[in-house]
A = this chain, B = another copy of it.
Amino acid sequence: LEWLWNNTFYKQGGPIFFYTGNEGDIEGFASATGMMWDLAPMFHAAIIFAEHRFYGTSLPFGNLSFSSIENLGFLTSEQALADFAALIYELKTPNNAWSYSYPKNTPVIAFGGSYGGMLSAWFRIKYPHLVNGAWASSAPLIYFRGGGVDQGAFDAITTATYLEAGCNRFIVENSWNAIVNLSSTKDGQDFLNTQFRIDPKSQINSTSGGWNLNGYFREAIEYMAMVDYPYATSFLMPLPGWPVKVACSFMNATGTKFSDKELATMMYNAANVYYNSSGKLQHNCIDPTVCGDMATASLGEGLAWPWQECSEMIINMCSKGGKNDFFWDECKSNSTNLLASVCKYMFKSFNWTTANWNIDAVPTLYGLTVQDASNIILTQGHLDPWSAGGYKASSPDNRNDHGIYVVEIPGSAHHLDLRKPNSCDPNTIKNARYQIVQILECWVSSCNKSLRMNKLPALEVAPPETKCEDVNNGYPWGQRSASNSLTLYTLAVFTLVLQHLPF
């Protein structure tokens, strides 16, 4: 297990900030989770980023880690949590392997985004004796069978994010057929291969190639909604600020009269924002069976996440087209079978069958409720397609009196709240973070207050001329005013009445 450890800001009595690593190299999450670094000085916190087994350098069987189902059987969220638990336990054990230990009563706050957010929430649920609370950002905890999430919800939000950013819906929803049409003729194929710099390894010479291109573009569209941050970032890809807005600047022509080549080109230009913001990309390799998944290559995940998706993390989603989203209708076919066929293909060397997955693994092991849990902050960004799979603020699970805080954040994308504060952050993010800090303060001091989240302010984004730059140690980010502060329940008058049960 690789883990990163920083005691620069730690002082005796301070907490441990513990990032529950997700599907990628831990270094990437360490740099994308600036909030932990930013808050550590004021909390006197130690910082730990723990890598998820089977990712990065944490390969339990070295080169053989992905060589058999037997070995991959050790790749589960449950095992990852057990690793994290053992690490924390050991860190609090005197005379440990590192000759450095924290006091037993050191509070631990788990942090995580996306799947890492699921892990941090589950970590608190399963190991409350080791974890005092969790800040679980953008965690699609209920996007599983029985969770009541519509299969098309992810792409419905994707669509909404683009329409809000000024895209002409007609252009997006008609680009897919335009591309397939083009891919069905020699002239169209030449156009696509040449204009869109299709990699020689993945040339389009049939409609099947056209669908590859659609898939390639669609990923860019979806991922840009996820990482639609207000400033330039490079989490999955180097991107400009508000990339969806930039993409929509290529798809905001009005009207409905466009040729197939025009539609395809507009989509290409939009997707190019994602794949080629540097302008240096030579070729687009659109066939994942040849080049892997270009959209998420930076996570360096290889087979690990696909294996999790095909064993325990059975997230069933599909686009529906029509009123739901501006993609095409995948849901009409059985989407579970669709996913199974992907798994079968991906793991054909293991003779993968549906006996190798457990569709109800997450509902069984973790449940699709946090009603009996406590001390979990669950943030969701309104721009983020993954927010479809998270708890809603209106859910009965959102019990502030139990320390459960569902925070829906307008203007926020995928785990923006955990990133380093930035001068271009919307006021909603600033306010959410401010309130969250109060909650963390409460948790690390074992306070008995019952804090309640206040409504976030109406969204205000930074003016376009704002220079976007890191804001270091800027707490409280201008959020000190009373109207934005947290509410504290106080039982001013408390009378105990003994009452006999009628039973």
**Taking the complex as formed, is A57 at the interface, i.e. its CB lies under 8 A from any CB of chain B?**
no
**Taking the complex as formed, is A89 at the interface, i.e. its CB lies under 8 A from any CB of chain B?**
yes
Contact B498–A488 (Cβ < 8 Å): yes
**Taking the complex as formed, is A215 at the interface, i.e. its CB lies under 8 A from any CB of chain B?**
no
**Taking the complex as formed, is A369 at the interface, i.e. its CB lies under 8 A from any CB of chain B?**
yes
Contact flag A488-B499 (CB < 8 Å), given A86-B364, A365-B82, A372-B129: yes
Contact A499–B490 (Cβ < 8 Å): yes
Contact A128–B89 (Cβ < 8 Å): no
Contact B89–A360 (Cβ < 8 Å): yes
A131 to chain B, nearest CB (A): 9
A373 to chain B: closest residue by CB: B128
Chain B residues in 8 Å Cβ range of A499: 487-488, 490
CA distance A364 to B81 in the complex (A): 11
CA distance A500 to B449 in the complex (A): 12
Contact B487–A498 (Cβ < 8 Å): yes
**Taking the complex as formed, is A497 at the interface, i.e. its CB lies under 8 A from any CB of chain B?**
yes
CA distance A371 to B446 in the complex (A): 12
**Taking the complex as formed, is A64 at the interface, i.e. its CB lies under 8 A from any CB of chain B?**
no
Give chain A interface residues in 486-503, CB to chain B under 8 Å.
486-501, 503
**Chain A interface residue number, banded:** 35 or more
CA distance A360 to B487 in the complex (A): 40
- Per-residue B-contact encoding for A123-156, CB less than 8 Å = 1, 0 else: 0011111100000000000000000000000000
**Taking the complex as formed, is A60 at the interface, i.e. its CB lies under 8 A from any CB of chain B?**
no
Contact A126–B126 (Cβ < 8 Å): yes
Contact A491–B488 (Cβ < 8 Å): no
**Taking the complex as formed, is A482 at the interface, i.e. its CB lies under 8 A from any CB of chain B?**
yes
Contact B85–A364 (Cβ < 8 Å): yes
**Taking the complex as formed, is A3 at the interface, i.e. its CB lies under 8 A from any CB of chain B?**
no
CA distance A448 to B244 in the complex (A): 47
A363 to chain B: closest residue by CB: B89
A279 to chain B, nearest CB (A): 47
Contact B438–A503 (Cβ < 8 Å): yes
Across the interface, A89 reaches (CB within 8 A) one of B127, B364, B372, B501, namely: B364
Chain B residues in 8 Å Cβ range of A485: 500-501
**Taking the complex as formed, is A374 at the interface, i.e. its CB lies under 8 A from any CB of chain B?**
yes
CA distance A450 to B426 in the complex (A): 42
Contact flag A482-B494 (CB < 8 Å), given A82-B365, A89-B364, A365-B82: no
Contact A493–B495 (Cβ < 8 Å): yes
A425 to chain B, nearest CB (A): 21
**Taking the complex as formed, is A321 at the interface, i.e. its CB lies under 8 A from any CB of chain B?**
no
Chain B residues in 8 Å Cβ range of A373: 128
**Taking the complex as formed, is A441 at the interface, i.e. its CB lies under 8 A from any CB of chain B?**
yes
A374 to chain B: closest residue by CB: B372
Contact flag A367-B500 (CB < 8 Å), given A493-B493, A494-B491, A495-B491: no
Contact B85–A365 (Cβ < 8 Å): yes
A378 to chain B, nearest CB (A): 16
Across the interface, A369 reaches (CB within 8 A) one of B93, B129, B374, namely: B129
Across the interface, A495 reaches (CB within 8 A) one of B93, B364, B492, B496, namely: B492
**Taking the complex as formed, is A242 at the interface, i.e. its CB lies under 8 A from any CB of chain B?**
no
**Taking the complex as formed, is A258 at the interface, i.e. its CB lies under 8 A from any CB of chain B?**
no
A486 to chain B: closest residue by CB: B501
Chain B residues in 8 Å Cβ range of A456: none
**Taking the complex as formed, is A9 at the interface, i.e. its CB lies under 8 A from any CB of chain B?**
no
- Interface centre among A82, A129, A488, A497, by most chain B C-beta atoms within 10 angstroms, is A129
CA distance A498 to B486 in the complex (A): 9
A169 to chain B, nearest CB (A): 38
CA distance A494 to B438 in the complex (A): 24
A50 to chain B, nearest CB (A): 15
CA distance A123 to B368 in the complex (A): 17
**Taking the complex as formed, is A366 at the interface, i.e. its CB lies under 8 A from any CB of chain B?**
yes
Contact flag A491-B491 (CB < 8 Å), given A127-B367, A128-B373: yes
Across the interface, A368 reaches (CB within 8 A) one of B127, B129, B375, namely: B129
A442 to chain B, nearest CB (A): 9
Chain B residues in 8 Å Cβ range of A487: 498-499
Chain B residues in 8 Å Cβ range of A363: 89
Contact B491–A441 (Cβ < 8 Å): no
A104 to chain B: closest residue by CB: B146
Name 10 interchain pairs, CB-CB below 8 A, sorted by A. Answer: A126-B126, A129-B368, A130-B364, A485-B500, A485-B501, A486-B501, A487-B498, A491-B494, A493-B494, A493-B495
Q: Which 6 A-B pairs have the closest CB atoms?
A: A129-B367, A128-B372, A492-B495, A490-B497, A89-B364, A488-B499
A-B contact sample (10 more), CB < 8 A, given A129-B369, A490-B499: A89-B360, A89-B364, A129-B366, A130-B364, A130-B367, A372-B375, A438-B503, A482-B500, A488-B498, A493-B494
